[in-house]
Amino acid sequence: MIVFEVMDQFHLQAIDRAGNISRPIAVILQHDQAPIPFFPTVKTFTLKTPDYQEPIANHQPIPADFKLHDVFIAQTHVFRPKDPYLQLVQNRWALIKLNASSISGAPAPDFTAIVHDADGYELGRILLTGDKKLPTSLDLPSQDNLASQRSHNDQDSYIAPLKEEWIKPGISITLTANGKPLDLPHYQEKTFAFRPKVGADLNLTLRIMRIAHHTGNDGVINDNIDQWGNEIVAKLPIKKLTLYSYPSVAFEQFSSFEDGFPAVYTGNKNEPGSDPHADNGGFKGAIATSYNSAKHLRQANIGDNEISYVAFFPNHYGGLGGGQQGGGSASAGIFIHEIGHAIGRPNSINDPNYPYK
């Protein structure tokens, strides 16, 4: 006989005589009544290199008053080539951007980005898009604050997407004007190419479940959490997201351990035996229950390399994330923030040189 603890979840799969395996059937045990089987919806999200029409070459000379002010590269964040926190994700496209000026507002030369592999073989090159004339002045982010969106715009920049298949460990990137390599700014010595760090192309598996506290909250379970896949891929340093979105369940009551004692939450603070602080955040109440449920969800699926998140309704107190799981609010900002913690990302780094304040 197998004894399951309260809140346990596991999967069943059927195999026919031909060896065909059914989709996994998720089973949750939340009380002594019959188990509730339900299927997750599975969606996959990836970032593909955007469609890009290279501009027609200008064939204009480099003006005498030409000045290259800055170069940036971006995937989830915008960095300068020399920034110590720059690390790209392999097989994920990156945006290259340069800012140059001419006091006279002269016509712009043709800017090209060229990518070579670790052995010096050219992987590809691409013409950057921008105004036909160089700007006469620029307002760029300071060296210690790259998060200034006001100073990042396409109107005074020259940009192009570097293809996903070009982004791999050991690459070097060169920028040219009319075929002449540009000396990159912010380097003490003349530098005509930079080698960004490139990490593995992480494919993230994420399991999401929703719980409503007492049946009266059924109506608020219908959130759009499974529609945020594109936003998750855009904001986290990953290449691909496989999202398992489980149907919602309602709990008439739940229990949570506080100070070593179980507290029961019924949704009615005046009901005998119910804890009066049912909405406490932190490691108490709903957030603690959702976080611990996420742990069970991951373990039930043997998800050593997976992330799980349980969204709890109603919840206005935020969430918790870490150790490959998270729980709490289903609002986009909190949910994605806690998923970041679940994959090991800290809050803002306590470093005066960190470029995002």
Residue 319 maps to a domain? yes
Return the structure tokens found at 300.
């039930």
Is the pLDDT at 303 greater than 60? The verdict is yes
| pLDDT of the residue at 30 | 60
Query: Considering 154, 172, 199, which residue would you say is the last residue of a domain?
Result: 199
Q: For the residues 16-28, what does the mean pLDDT come to?
A: 74
Residue 354 maps to a domain? no
- Domain holding 300, by residue range, is 9-39+202-342
Rounded-to-integer distance, Cα 91 and Cα 49, Å: 10
Query: Considering 153, 180, 199, which residue would you say is the last residue of a domain?
Result: 199
**Polymer length of the chain:** 357
Q: For the residues 310-329, what does the mean pLDDT come to?
A: 79
Residue 45 maps to a domain? no
Do 240 and 168 share a domain, yes or no? no
Do 221 and 309 share a domain, yes or no? yes
Query: Considering 157, 179, 199, which residue would you say is the last residue of a domain?
Result: 199
Do 294 and 268 share a domain, yes or no? yes
What is the percent of the chain where pLDDT is above 70? 71
Rounded-to-integer distance, Cα 49 and Cα 161, Å: 7
The helix (run of H) or strand (run of E) holding residue 210 is strand 203-213
Rounded-to-integer distance, Cα 330 and Cα 352, Å: 33
Rounded-to-integer distance, Cα 78 and Cα 95, Å: 9
Highest mean pLDDT among 64-78, 131-145, 216-230, 331-345: 64-78
Do 299 and 209 share a domain, yes or no? yes
> 276 burial class (0-12, 13-18, 19+ CB within 10 angstroms)?
exposed
Q: What does the pLDDT look like over 48-86, one tens digit per residue?
A: 899 999 999 989 999 999 999 999 999 988 899 998 889
Return the structure tokens found at 87.
């690390």
Q: What is the CATH number of the domain that holds 115?
A: 2.60.40.1930
Residue 160 maps to a domain? yes
> 95 burial class (0-12, 13-18, 19+ CB within 10 angstroms)?
middle
Q: What does the pLDDT look like over 173-228, one tens digit per residue?
A: 999 999 999 999 988 888 999 999 999 888 888 888 887 765 454 444 445 666 77
Contact yes or no for 53/215 (Cβ under 8 A): no
Residue 119 maps to a domain? yes
Do 187 and 167 share a domain, yes or no? yes
Concatenated DSSP letters of 157-182:
-EEEEEPGGG--TT-EEEEEETTEEP
Residue 16 maps to a domain? yes
- Give 316's pLDDT tier (boundaries 50, 70, 90): low
Return the structure tokens found at 195.
């080698």
Do 99 and 160 share a domain, yes or no? yes
| pLDDT of the residue at 217 | 45
Sequence-distant (≥ 6) Cβ neighbours of residue 343 within 8 angstroms:
204, 236, 307, 324
| pLDDT of the residue at 19 | 81
Q: What angle do CA 264, 260, 297 make, to 5 degrees?
A: 65
Do 99 and 190 share a domain, yes or no? yes
Beta bridge partners of 27: 10, 37
Main-chain phi, psi angles of 15, to 5 degrees: -125, 125
Considering the chain, what is the average pLDDT of its residues? 80
What is the percent of the chain where pLDDT is above 90? 35
Rounded-to-integer distance, Cα 134 and Cα 101, Å: 5
Do 298 and 191 share a domain, yes or no? no
Query: Do you find a cis peptide bond into 141, omega within 30 degrees of 0?
Result: no
Q: How many domains does the chain have?
A: 2
Do 285 and 312 share a domain, yes or no? yes
Residue 4 maps to a domain? no
| pLDDT of the residue at 220 | 46
Is the pLDDT at 136 greater than 90? The verdict is yes
Residue 230 maps to a domain? yes
Contact yes or no for 30/7 (Cβ under 8 A): yes
- Give 151's pLDDT tier (boundaries 50, 70, 90): low
| Helix-, strand-, coil-residue percentages of the chain, each rounded to 5 | 15, 35, 50
Residue 212, classed as helix, strand or coil, is strand
* Sequence-ordered strand ranges (E) for 246-324: 249-251, 254-258, 261-265, 306-313, 319-322
Do 288 and 327 share a domain, yes or no? yes
Do 210 and 323 share a domain, yes or no? yes
The single residue listed with the structure tokens 């049912």 is: 278
Do 253 and 222 share a domain, yes or no? yes
